[in-house]
Amino acid sequence: MKSMNSCCFKGCSIRSNELLVYIDDGKNLYALCPLHLPFYLEKNEQYQDYLIPATSQRCPMPCVLCLEKDNTQHFTTYEHNKKIDTSFCSHHLQKMLTHQLSLSESTFLREQFGQFFEISEEFYD
């Protein structure tokens, strides 16, 4: 059983809240380090066996960007001990994690939550 605050990729021992993002899809809770986040995003069956999620702790909420209610996922990260906690649809979660949000979307998130790594200015200059 993996502890909640280490990366859920089998054998990965990264356990810093500053490095991990938490994605809760209403069934499973994934803690992911930057190295293993792509394995989650790609949904590559070959790698799914390596991801060992914890049990979901959340009920789905609408996407903060488009208010979509279906297939949303909680997203939690920490920036200088400040907790950023919100929800995204699959489309916007993917866009944010791959740094492809529109300027208005990234600006909106920055206004709501302050700066955090996934929307840092270097990706959106």
Residues that bind Zn ion (CB under 5 A): 7, 9, 12, 14, 33, 36, 63, 65-66, 68, 89, 92
Q: Which amino acid is at 78?
A: Y
Nearer CB in complex with Zn ion: 47/125: 47
- Strands of 21-24's sheet, edge to edge? 54-55, 28-32, 21-24, 72-79, 82-89
**Cβ of residue 8: shortest distance to Zn ion, in angstroms?**
8
Beta-bridged to residue 9, according to DSSP, are 51
**Cβ of residue 51: shortest distance to Zn ion, in angstroms?**
10
Nearer CB in complex with Zn ion: 78/125: 78
Distance CA 7, CA 60 (A): 22
